[in-house]
């Protein structure tokens, strides 16, 4: 579980507008682009290269930057 204060500071690195992310299990999800960033050993891995498309995302196309 990510601390709420830390979670409030995190934003999606792939989106130009830097929207906030939300925790969903062992991932942090950006609702704007649908990317899910893994949390490994309690540490969020906020790398675009590590992101996967979140299964509940409605984003049809993810363009890596």
DSSP string over 20-51: BEEEETTEEEETTT-EEEEEETTEE---GGG-
Segment 5-63, tens digit of pLDDT:
999 999 999 999 999 999 999 999 999 999 999 999 999 999 999 999 987 655 444 44
pTM: 0.80
Which structural domains are found in the chain, ordered by start?
4-53 (2.20.25.10)
């Amino acid at each position: 579980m990510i601390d709420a204060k830390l979670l409030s500071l995190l934003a999606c690195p792939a989106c130009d507008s830097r929207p906030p992310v939300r925790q969903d299990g062992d991932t942090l999800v950006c609702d704007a682009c649908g990317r899910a960033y893994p949390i490994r050993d309690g540490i969020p891995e906020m790398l675009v290269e590590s992101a996967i498309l979140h299964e509940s995302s409605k984003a049809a196309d993810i363009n890596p930057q």
